[in-house]
A and B are shown apart, each in its own frame.
Chain A
Amino acid sequence: MLQKGISYTFRLTISILILSNLSFGQTLNCTCFVKGKIIDRQSGEVVVGALVEISAQKKATFTNKNGEYLIENVCEGKYEMNIRILGYDSQKLEVNLVHENTHDFNLNESQIHLDGVNISAKRIENISGNEKQLDSEQLNKLTGQNLATILTSISGISIIQTGSSIGKPVIHGMHSNRILTINNGIRHEGQQWGNEHAPEIDPFLAKQITVIKGAKSVRYGPEAIGGVIVIEPNELKHLDKIQTEINQFFMSNGLQNGISGIVESSFHKIRGLDWRVQASTKKGGNTSTPAYNLANTGSQEFNFSLGAKYSKKKTDLNLFFSQFNSKIGIFSGAHIGNTTDLALAIGREKPLDVYTPESFSYKINKPYQDIQHSLFKLKLNQLLSNNQNLQVTFGQQYNFRAEVDALRGDRNTAQVFKINTNTLEVLFNHKPFIKRISGNLGLNGLYQYNISTGSINVPQKSNVLIPNYTNVTVGAFWIERYVKGDFEMEAGMRYDRRFLDVYYLKRLQNEISNEFFGNQNLTNTFSISRIFKNRIKLGYNFATAWKPPVVNELFSDGVHHGSATYEVGDVNLKTEKAIENSIVLNFSDKFYQFEVLGYFNYLRNYVFLAPTGNSVLTIRGAFPEFKYTQTNARFVGFDISNTISKFQKFTISNQLSLLWADDLTRNQPLIFIPANKSETAINYKFNKSWLSEMALNHQFVAKQNRTPQNQIFDNISGETALKLIGGDYMAAPAAYNLFDLSVSKNYKFKNLSTVNIILECKNVLNTQYRDYLNRFRYFTDDIGRNFSLRTNINF
């Protein structure tokens, strides 16, 4: 949850006066007008230059120097009014222009509640503007896809795929342990270290997803180097009746289908007790590329959550439990015994016939991944005097992951990982000083342990990928924000300490080895932003961040199945530190918006995995050896977006994501960095038609021409069975273009029920392509045309 309680979420009050002349007979009355004033509730100052528009009537205006606006000559009816202001989240508001409202001539602010049209807009929390949101309306269009795929609709975000069902988000070229996910207010502690480990989160529960592009370490602690993904369900609120939401989807490719239900209400007997129950299930079979089917690429998911909130006077108590279960088949053709198998698989134009069956199946065979993640949360929010508040959040997580491989008989070779995490956060929002400075102080604690074999400090086996460990991290932070009219400034600092204790057995030894790592760091952030003439916003953001080396980077020593590499960790790795600078320029006019985000990130001791050029001989043959190593790295890039929108009826927008990432020590590009891409969307909303909306999407992904060419390690002795092309098995795939088409229809009923149906076709032209960040690009094309039907029902 994005700290609802933080006092710098300024609220904006918009007062509205709705008037119309008495209607004459049955003719449509088009002499109504809407008039009002926009005020920032926190400062009490009027907001000048906010855009107010009624799209359906093609009317738009800006607030004047007194914060007032007036839209005249509007016909009677029910409309959606959009309010857009630089520095605030845009808002939608329903206005009902009927002649009954005529008596509200002298409506004053205190009477606004009569019409229920009082709305509040949240001021953008991250003042430098590198924050992007997906709201429930956008999320409804994307249901059924995994979290990472959903996030790629934001510029600057890409996805690392392992086949079509496993996806990991990449923000500005950084992923895994450099991205933090805050799920329901809790730091998500899954197993983010592997490229084939997707976040264990059910996107059906999310009603708002916020992505912070860039470091946010001061607020969220270590590892938030590349960015933060904040996933929130709707806040629980008092409801007189039982409210139900049903989301359903069907996709033609893989005959995937799923359904999610959310039921919420309040107890009548106990005042102030609200609850929610949610469950979702998903099932998919073998997917297909434009030319062939892929064996064993099905997936299954079952998730549920329970939430309750009890409010009494100034106290809010939140209780939440969720569980995520998923089983994902791994494409049989990517099951690699050794490097020779890999070389042969890469050499083939198309996977062998046995891996591309004609018949369809939902069955998941070995190899597969079996994942479970449980989260329990208890949150106390206490409002203190002077509008100060104290928030205490406790979270408990259990993450289970089994990677099951095909073996003789009915036996499995399974790699099992189990991580338990407890987190505690105490957050205090102090009262504003001199009305303009507000801020918060917080304490964080984390206790985590992993047991691979035996008990924590008595491991029993040496051949484990992740050794037993305990991790204790503590941190304290302080953030203050200053706001005066068009000008905002924020500064913060944080101190963290991590204590990592690792217990493992060395090969062929019975004596337990214990390794201790203590890391500490001070992080800072500073942001400043200014709005010029209500049209242009310029923001600058400076942040430092850090990541102590993660257990797998320190201790890996074994074959990584699926990627046919022998991975070796390095216990001498140093803490990775980042210094990040970003500038956001935002221009917003009546029908045109432009935004450019430029970033320049420098990482000292950037940890990455690189081929050594040696091979390791095992019984299954020789494997190329990959080692974790460090370098100084530079990430420079731009996210540029242009939107032309006429009364929100016709919208054409383009998003451009550009990135250059370099290894400064070796003076060459970094490996596995997303290619530049451009996305264009054309959207048309119909007024009164059998269709509500139509959209055409075009995505162009360039070829990644910037791949490393030089050897990273010296002392190459052996020979690898594979010729590595710039540290990779295969050259980067060619550029590609994809087209998507979608139509939707909304129904609104008198009793406030809504039904929304979306029909979509992805990859309309059935283009054959391979993506640089898809780990299965060595073996197979990406998936082909996919029709989907989504239904969202609220009643």
Chain B
Amino acid sequence: MKKSSILLLCFVLGFSACKKEDEIGEENELITTIKLNFKNGTDIKSFSYKDLDGDGGITPVIDKISLAANTTYDLSIEFLDESKSPAVNITQEVSGESDEHLVLFTPSTIALGTYSYADKDVNLLPIGLIGKYSTQSAGMGMLKVQLRHQPPINGKNTKDGTSIPGSDDINIDFALEVK
């Protein structure tokens, strides 16, 4: 009896002695590019942030946003990984997981404009992939663009429509000029 139980133990141990490599095969996800598309009638303006070599190395290139005063634009945002070819569209992934993502647009002063959401996730909370940006008077400042990743913790949703939970996947300051 004793001998067989030891044999059994060896058997069990032998099987669990596998290498772990296969369990985690996914490579790093990278967002290299953000595109902001402002549309007012036929007036379409696109501004982007590009950091093709990823973190560090060459300094990222950030366009300066230039908008007309007292105008309401349809604003959509795109996330791309252009380090691969063809480029990977990460916007779709964010939209597929919209109940744990929130995009925030925060101008440095209120006078530079306001953002309103035009999309909702399954819990009726805003997402921010599409919305409206309304400018007022002319001025100069910054527009902060954030993608908050708010995944559930121990099975519980954390997204509550505010910026507080989760962590930044994207946090960029664009220079903004309203003319």
Chain A residues packing against B (C-beta within 8 Å):
242, 263, 277, 279, 286, 295-296, 302, 304, 306, 323, 325, 332, 335-338, 340-341, 352, 354-355, 357, 359, 361, 363, 365-366, 370, 372, 374, 398, 400, 402, 404, 406-409, 411-416, 418, 461-463, 507-508, 557-559, 566, 568, 616-621
Contacts and interface: CB of A to CB of B under 8 A. Distances in A.
Interface in B63-119: 90, 93-94, 96-97, 101
Contacts of A370: 20, 23-24
B98 to A, nearest CB: 10
Contact of B19 (A400, A409, A618): A400
Contact of B26 (A332, A357, A413, A568): A413
A409 B53 contact: no
B26 A337 contact: no
Nearest to A616: B56
A335 B166 CA distance: 8
Given A279-B13, A296-B154, A566-B56, A242 B23 contact: no
B115 to A, nearest CB: 19
A352 B169 contact: no
B176 interface: no
A462 to B, nearest CB: 8
A620 B171 contact: yes
A559 B28 CA distance: 13
B134 to A, nearest CB: 26
Nearest to A617: B60
A463 B167 contact: no
A372 B19 contact: yes
Nearest to B34: A619
15 contacts: A277-B6, A279-B9, A323-B17, A325-B16, A336-B167, A337-B167, A337-B171, A341-B167, A363-B155, A400-B19, A404-B24, A408-B90, A566-B56, A616-B56, A620-B168
B24 A295 contact: no
Closest 8 CB pairs of A and B: A337-B167, A337-B168, A621-B171, A507-B57, A507-B53, A618-B55, A354-B158, A412-B26
Contacts of B90: 408
B124 interface: no
A462 B19 CA distance: 25
Contacts of A363: 154-155
A352 B164 contact: yes
A337 B55 contact: no
Contacts of B101: 408
B153 A354 contact: yes
B36 interface: no
Contacts of B175: none
A354 B169 contact: no
A332 B154 CA distance: 10
Contacts of B154: 286, 295-296, 357, 359, 361, 363, 365
A409 B93 contact: yes
Contacts of B172: 619, 621
B168 A340 contact: yes
Contacts of A418: 21
B129 interface: no
Contacts of B27: 461
Contacts of A508: 52-53, 57-58
B59 A416 contact: no
Given A407-B29, A409-B97, A296 B171 contact: no
Given A332-B153, A338-B167, A400-B19, 12 more contacts: A279-B13, A352-B164, A357-B153, A359-B154, A402-B24, A406-B149, A406-B151, A408-B101, A411-B26, A416-B21, A463-B54, A566-B55
B56 A338 contact: no
A302 B16 contact: yes
A617 B172 CA distance: 9
A408 B167 contact: no
Contacts of A354: 153, 156, 158, 165
Contacts of A263: 6, 9
B122 interface: no
Interface string B134-169: 000000000000000101011110100000111111
Give the dominant DSSP class at B's interface. loop
Interface in B1-19: 2, 6, 9-10, 13, 16-17, 19
A414 B55 contact: no
Contacts of B56: 507, 557-558, 566, 568, 616, 618
A769 B175 CA distance: 43
Given A279-B13, A507-B58, A352 B165 contact: yes
Contacts of B19: 372, 398, 400
B21 A617 contact: no
Contacts of A296: 153-154
Q: Indicate the size class of the contact surface on chain B.
A: 35 or more
A508 B54 CA distance: 10
Nearest to A558: B55
B170 A411 contact: no
A703 to B, nearest CB: 30
A357 B10 CA distance: 40
Contact of B10 (A242, A306, A412): A306
B47 interface: no
A507 B60 CA distance: 14
A200 to B, nearest CB: 12
B39 to A, nearest CB: 24
Nearest to A400: B20
Nearest to A371: B20
Contacts of B149: 337, 406-408
Given A338-B171, A411-B29, A412-B26, A402 B55 contact: no
A332 B158 CA distance: 11
B125 to A, nearest CB: 15
A279 B9 CA distance: 9
A619 B149 CA distance: 14
A361 to B, nearest CB: 5
Contacts of A463: 28, 30, 54-55
Contacts of B54: 463, 507, 618
A628 to B, nearest CB: 14
A619 B49 contact: yes
Contacts of B153: 295-296, 332, 354-355, 357, 365
Contacts of A566: 55-56
Given A352-B164, A361-B154, A374 B17 contact: yes
A306 B168 contact: no
A359 B156 CA distance: 11
Nearest to A348: B164
A483 B24 CA distance: 56
A564 to B, nearest CB: 10
A620 B145 CA distance: 10
A372 B16 CA distance: 12
Contacts of A357: 153-154, 156
A354 B21 CA distance: 32
A398 B166 CA distance: 35
A341 B170 CA distance: 11
A696 B78 CA distance: 62
Nearest to A404: B24
Nearest to B166: A337
A557 B58 CA distance: 12
